[in-house]
């Protein structure tokens, strides 16, 4: 990543949604520090957050459509994405810069070849900042390279510029191959997860211990008044559903072993047991009951020394769904 940025200076950091846990403004400020000329956000509503910390251009990834969105604001630093004939034709003659998204094997947004042929004249009249290709993650690298190369040929066949292509989910090695094949094209990698979360040791989520209670066997605790099966400690820690604790997207599971583990986890939850993401003594500890909105009640069995009130303990969270009360930069 660093070598790509140092050599080509074409990296486009993606700062969208919850800002990968750090916040859009924080990531935009980091992109400014890196000297990037463009950042990408997810929606038009996120543009102002990036503008607060970044002085360059802001590319909106979600395609603009006249049937959904309002008239785009006049903003010389804004670059819109368009992915439909209706959007291309609605913006023809306007002065707003656009990136035209092309349909890939991901099958999400984009013009297919027939639509490109139909809109070629209109596309040439747009103040175009290039074309965009959003590739699948789970695909052989050679397939991604060939798919992009095929689109380069298609654009040339329709006499459309291939000077700039914005690409997602393309590795450094694939970019090097593409640059050798198409030296006249500037490939601009849009990178989010790999840039911000690619080194897990660079960040750590923590929850603050708010209270610790000794609990005797048979004692009822919590909203649901569940009985403690043994002696131990009940730890109340900052971090609940509003922070993204214990919330996760459906997992892509491959293989018999992985499916068996997922089934076992589901069976435990049906029985009222769920492993929390909070770690004490180097191990994840069990929820006493499902997490609350802003705090969680975590069970520590006898023999485990509880942390003191005010201590921060590690918590495993999905950064793309997490919301933190405070982000501390070192």
> Do residues 175 and 221 both lie within one domain?
no
pLDDT in tens, 267-311: 334 345 799 999 999 999 999 999 999 999 999 999 999 999 999
> Do residues 169 and 68 both lie within one domain?
yes
> Do residues 245 and 192 both lie within one domain?
no
SS3 content of the chain, % helix, strand, coil (to 5): 30, 25, 45
Q: Are strands 164-168 and 97-102 parallel, antiparallel or unpaired?
A: unpaired
Given this model, what pLDDT does residue 246 score? Answer: 87
DSSP SS3 for 194: helix
DSSP state of 84: S
Q: Are the CB atoms for 52 and 76 separated by under 8 Å?
A: no
> Do residues 144 and 289 both lie within one domain?
no
The whole-angstrom separation of Cα 323 and Cα 119 is: 42
- pLDDT tens-place values along the chain, 330 residues long: 455 455 446 899 999 999 999 999 999 999 999 999 999 999 999 999 999 999 999 999 999 999 998 888 789 999 999 999 999 999 988 888 999 999 999 999 999 999 999 999 999 999 999 999 999 998 787 899 999 999 999 999 999 999 999 999 999 999 999 999 999 999 999 999 999 999 999 999 999 999 999 999 999 999 999 999 999 999 999 999 999 998 865 655 455 554 444 333 443 343 457 999 999 999 999 999 999 999 999 999 999 999 999 999 999 999 999 999 999 998
Task: Pick the last residue of a domain from 170, 200, 230.
Answer: 200
> Do residues 36 and 90 both lie within one domain?
yes
> Do residues 94 and 112 both lie within one domain?
yes
Domain CATH number, residue 104? 3.20.20.10
Assess if residue 309 is contained within a domain: yes
Count the domains in the chain: 2
What is the domain extent for residue 144?
Answer: 2-200
> Do residues 208 and 251 both lie within one domain?
yes
Domain CATH number, residue 303? 2.40.37.10
Q: Are the CB atoms for 191 and 13 separated by under 8 Å?
A: yes
> Do residues 178 and 228 both lie within one domain?
no
Q: Which of 114, 112, 63 is nearest to 90 (CA)?
A: 63
Q: Are the CB atoms for 321 and 269 separated by under 8 Å?
A: no
Q: Which of 93, 79, 87, 72 is nearest to 164 (CA)?
A: 79
Q: What is the dihedral of CA 196, 198, 199, 201, to 10 degrees?
A: 80
Given this model, what pLDDT does residue 272 score? Answer: 52
Assess if residue 71 is contained within a domain: yes
Q: Are the CB atoms for 324 and 208 separated by under 8 Å?
A: no
Given this model, what pLDDT does residue 94 score? Answer: 83
Q: Which of 47, 76, 69 is nearest to 60 (CA)?
A: 47
Burial 234-273 (b: 16+ CB within 10 A, else e): bbbbbbbeebbbbeeeeeeeeeeeeeeeeeeeeeeeeeee
> Do residues 109 and 29 both lie within one domain?
yes
Given this model, what pLDDT does residue 141 score? Answer: 79
Assess if residue 330 is contained within a domain: no
> Do residues 174 and 265 both lie within one domain?
no
Task: Pick the last residue of a domain from 184, 200, 216.
Answer: 200
Given this model, what pLDDT does residue 45 score? Answer: 94
Given this model, what pLDDT does residue 259 score? Answer: 44
| Residue whose token pair is 């034709």 | 89
Sheet (strand 206-215) strand order: 295-301, 232-238, 206-215, 312-314
Given this model, what pLDDT does residue 120 score? Answer: 97
Assess if residue 245 is contained within a domain: yes
Helices (H), 110-171: 113-125, 141-157
DSSP state of 42: S
DSSP SS3 for 303: coil
């Amino acid at each position: 990543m660093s070598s790509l940025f140092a050599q080509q200076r074409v990296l486009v950091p993606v700062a969208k949604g919850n800002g990968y846990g750090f916040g859009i403004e924080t990531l935009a400020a980091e992109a400014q520090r890196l000297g990037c000329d463009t950042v990408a956000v997810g929606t038009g509503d996120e543009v102002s957050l990036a503008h607060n910390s970044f002085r360059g251009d802001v590319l909106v990834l979600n395609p603009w459509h006249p049937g959904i969105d309002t008239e785009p604001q006049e903003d010389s630093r804004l670059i819109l994405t368009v992915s439909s004939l209706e959007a291309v034709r609605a913006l023809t003659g306007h002065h707003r810069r656009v990136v035209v998204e092309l349909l890939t094997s991901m099958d999400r947004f984009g013009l297919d070849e027939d639509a490109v042929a139909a809109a070629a004249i209109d596309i040439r009249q747009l103040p175009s900042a290039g074309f965009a290709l959003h590739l699948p993650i789970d695909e052989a690298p050679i397939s991604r390279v060939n798919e992009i190369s095929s689109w380069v040929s298609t654009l040339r066949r329709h006499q459309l510029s291939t000077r700039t292509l914005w690409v997602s989910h393309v590795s450094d090695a694939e970019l090097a191959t593409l640059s050798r094949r198409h030296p006249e094209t500037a490939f601009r990698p849009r990178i989010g997860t790999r840039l911000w979360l690619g080194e897990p040791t660079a960040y750590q989520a923590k929850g603050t211990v708010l209270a610790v209670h000794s609990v005797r066997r048979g004692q009822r605790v919590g909203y649901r008044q569940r009985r403690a099966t043994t002696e131990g400690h009940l730890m109340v820690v900052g971090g609940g559903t509003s922070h993204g604790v214990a919330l996760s997207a459906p997992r892509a599971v491959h293989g018999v072993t992985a499916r068996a583990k997922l089934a076992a986890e589901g069976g435990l939850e049906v029985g009222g047991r769920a492993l929390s993401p909070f770690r004490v003594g180097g191990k994840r500890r069990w929820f006493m009951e499902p997490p609350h909105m802003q705090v969680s009640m975590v069970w520590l069995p006898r023999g485990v020394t509880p942390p003191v009130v005010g201590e921060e303990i590690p918590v495993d969270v999905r950064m793309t769904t997490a919301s933190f009360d405070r982000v501390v930069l070192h």
